[in-house]
């Protein structure tokens, strides 16, 4: 059974990693997919083609999710091109890890802007169409460290905790219009973001995980599919940990 036939999904930061896996998973379930990333480069073109080859309408857009005006224009363009926006996945994110003692103002501002302001930018732009059609599902990519904190990631953890507060507020604000808003808190997922960590750090992460493995982008994509589709029609304002029981 396809769960998103005829729906349009917008996924930010989807040229690789978790965003790419989500785009493929939603397309497998019949969704037409608009993906964004910083550049319309080979990686973005490859995902775009892979999605089109699956028989859905798909288009990749170059977009800096942290830019407010640019985002409002982009969402208007996507609405015109696809005819609706039913699912928004705010996935784009970066890390600039360092201890507080060394963290610069720029490292703070950049991470908050890319990870948190982007969620405001896209939700604000898309909700006007969701409000009109009286339906929609928004899925925001938080992190376990947004729930629990992590030394060396004060900027990142703050941005991901901010996403949780934002998600709960939006769920309460637009629930009466049949719009749901949830967050996913992935644990240690093996992507380029985590791939740059030293091997011993990766090993020690894995040893702390009760399921004894890092998660895959597909693990997160499956949860996103659930939250994007009617399978979760009575779930809103929640944070779903996808972390192999690392956070309980
Ligand atoms: P990734 O680095 O592999 O992919 C992130 C994508 O976002 C990249 O394609 C990048 O170009 C894009 N991006 C960066 N800045 C952008 C901007 N300003 N505008 C648009 N796109 C931008 O990372 P990932 O591991 O796939 O992570 C995806 C999301 O999941 C992030 O929000 C991340 O914080 C979150 N997350 C990841 C993990 C993990 O273990 N990998 C854990 C918890 C949460």
Name the average pLDDT for the chain: 97
Q: Return the percentage of the chain with pLDDT > 90, whole number.
A: 93
Query: pLDDT value at position 36?
Result: 99
Cβ-contact 90, 141 below 8 angstroms: yes
Cα 80 off chain centre by: 22
Structure tokens at 77: 């363009």
Residues 111-120 have pLDDT tens digits of 999 999 999 9
Q: Which of 75, 193, 196, 205 to mutate to test the pocket of ligand 1 (most atoms within 8 A of CB)?
A: 193
Residue boundaries of the structural domains of the chain: 8-186+220-242
Task: From the CA of 65, give the closest atom in ligand 1.
Answer: 19
Residues 42-80 have pLDDT tens digits of 999 999 999 999 999 999 999 999 999 999 999 999 999
Phi, psi of 187 (to 5 degrees): -90, -125
Query: pLDDT value at position 238?
Result: 98
Domain spanning 8-186+220-242, CATH class? alpha beta
In angstroms, what is the span from residue 92 Cα to ligand 1's centroid?
5
Q: Whose CA is nearest to atom 23 of ligand 1?
A: 193
Evaluate if residue 192 carries a pLDDT over 90. Answer: no
Q: How far is CA 136 from CA 38, 132, 207, 229, in A?
A: 25, 10, 39, 9
Model pTM? Answer: 0.98
- Of residues 205 and 172, which shows the higher confidence score? 172
Spatial separation of the C-alpha atoms in residues 19 and 184, rounded to whole Å: 13
């Amino acid at each position: 059974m396809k769960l998103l036939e005829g729906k349009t999904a917008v996924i930010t930061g989807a040229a690789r990693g978790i965003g790419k896996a989500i785009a493929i998973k939603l397309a497998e379930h019949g969704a037409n997919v608009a993906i964004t990333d910083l550049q319309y480069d080979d990686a973005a073109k490859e995902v775009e083609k892979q999605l089109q080859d699956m028989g859905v309408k798909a288009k990749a857009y170059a977009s800096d999710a942290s830019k407010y005006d640019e985002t409002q224009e982009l969402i208007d363009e996507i609405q015109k091109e696809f005819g609706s926006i039913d699912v928004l996945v705010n996935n784009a994110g970066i890390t600039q890890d360092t201890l507080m003692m060394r963290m610069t103002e720029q490292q703070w501002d950049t991470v908050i802007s890319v990870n948190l302001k982007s969620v405001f930018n896209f939700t604000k732009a898309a909700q006007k169409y969701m409000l009109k059609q009286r339906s929609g599902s928004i899925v925001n990519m938080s992190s376990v460290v947004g729930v629990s904190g992590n030394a060396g990631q004060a900027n990142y953890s703050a941005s991901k905790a901010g996403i949780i507060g934002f998600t709960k507020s939006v769920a309460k604000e637009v629930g009466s219009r049949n719009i749901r808003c949830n967050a996913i808190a992935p644990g240690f997922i093996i992507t380029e973001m985590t791939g740059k960590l030293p091997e011993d750090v990766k090993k020690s992460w894995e040893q702390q995980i009760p399921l004894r493995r890092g998660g895959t982008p597909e693990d997160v994509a499956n949860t996103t599919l659930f939250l994007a589709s009617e399978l979760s029609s009575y779930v809103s304002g929640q944070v779903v940990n996808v972390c192999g029981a690392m956070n309980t």
